[in-house]
Amino acid sequence: MTNYIIRRLLQSVLMLFLLSIIFFALVNLAPGGPLAGYGQSRHARAERVAVLKRQLGLDQPLPMQYLIWLAGNDWMQVDADGDGIKESRGSRLGILRGDFGSSFRTRQSALREITLRLPNSIYLMSITLLVALLIAIPVGIISAVKQYSTFDISATAFSFAGQAIPEFWLGLILILIFYAWLENPFTGEPLLPAGGMYTIGGGFSLWDHISHLILPVTTGALGWIAWYSRFMRSSMLDVIPMDYLRTARAKGLHERVVIRRHALRNALIPLVTLFALDVPYLISGAVFIETIFAWPGMGRLYYQSALQRDYPVLMAILIIGAIFIILSNLLADILYATLDPKIRYE
Partner 1 sequence: MRTPPGVWQRFLHHPGARFGFITLSIIVIAVLLAPLSPYDPNSSNLKERFQPPSLQHPMGTDSLGRDLFTRVLYGGRVSLSVGILVVVITLFIGVTIGAAAGFFGGSIDNILMRITDAFLTLPALLVLILISAILREVEFPLLARNSVITISLVIGLFSWMTFARLIRASILSLRETEFIIAARSIGASDLRIIIREILPNMVGIIVVEATLELGWAIIEESGLSFLGFGIQPPTASWGNLLSNAQENFVKYPWLAIFPGLMIFLTIISVNYIGDGLRDAFDPYKILHKRS
Q: Is 32 in the site for partner 1 (CB under 8 A)?
A: yes
Q: Is 114 in the site for partner 1 (CB under 8 A)?
A: no
Stretch of residues binding partner 1 (CB under 8 A), selected from 70-78, 82-90, 118-126, 323-331 = 323-331
Q: Is 122 in the site for partner 1 (CB under 8 A)?
A: no
State the nearest-atom distance from the C-beta of 292 to partner 1, in Å. 8
Q: Is 280 in the site for partner 1 (CB under 8 A)?
A: yes
Among 10, 30, 182, 242, binds partner 1 (CB under 8 A): 30
Q: Which residues make beta-bridge pairs with 88?
A: 78
Residue 61 CB burial class (10 angstroms; 0-12, 13-18, ≥19): exposed
- Taking the C-alpha atoms of residue 75 and residue 181, their distance in angstroms, rounded to an integer, is 62
Q: What does R_g of the chain's alpha carbons equal in angstroms?
A: 26
Stretch of residues binding partner 1 (CB under 8 A), selected from 24-32, 93-101, 120-128, 242-250 = 24-32
For residue 190, which of 170, 168, 214, 154 has the smallest C-alpha distance?
A: 214
Structural element, H or E, at residue 89: strand 88-89
Structural element, H or E, at residue 249: helix 243-250
State the nearest-atom distance from the C-beta of 131 to partner 1, in Å. 22
Angle formed by the axes of helices 311-339 and 2-29, to 10°? 160
Q: Which residue number, 15 or 51, has a Cβ lying nearer to partner 1? A: 15
Query: DSSP per residue over 288-339, as a string?
Result: HHHHHTT--SHHHHHHHHHHTT-HHHHHHHHHHHHHHHHHHHHHHHHHHHHH
Among 166, 196, 242, 247, binds partner 1 (CB under 8 A): 166
Q: Is 163 in the site for partner 1 (CB under 8 A)?
A: yes
State the nearest-atom distance from the C-beta of 16 to partner 1, in Å. 9
Residue type for position 246: R
Q: Is 288 in the site for partner 1 (CB under 8 A)?
A: yes
Cα dist. 216→5, 79, 81, 170, 303 in Å? 37, 47, 47, 10, 17
Q: Which residue number, 102 or 329, has a Cβ lying nearer to partner 1? A: 329
Stretch of residues binding partner 1 (CB under 8 A), selected from 29-37, 43-51, 72-80, 96-104 = 29-37
Residues of this chain that bind partner 1 (CB under 8 A): 15, 18-19, 23, 26-27, 30-32, 36, 160-161, 163-166, 168-169, 172-173, 175-176, 179-180, 194, 280, 283-284, 287-288, 291, 302-303, 306-307, 309, 314, 317-318, 321-322, 325-326, 329
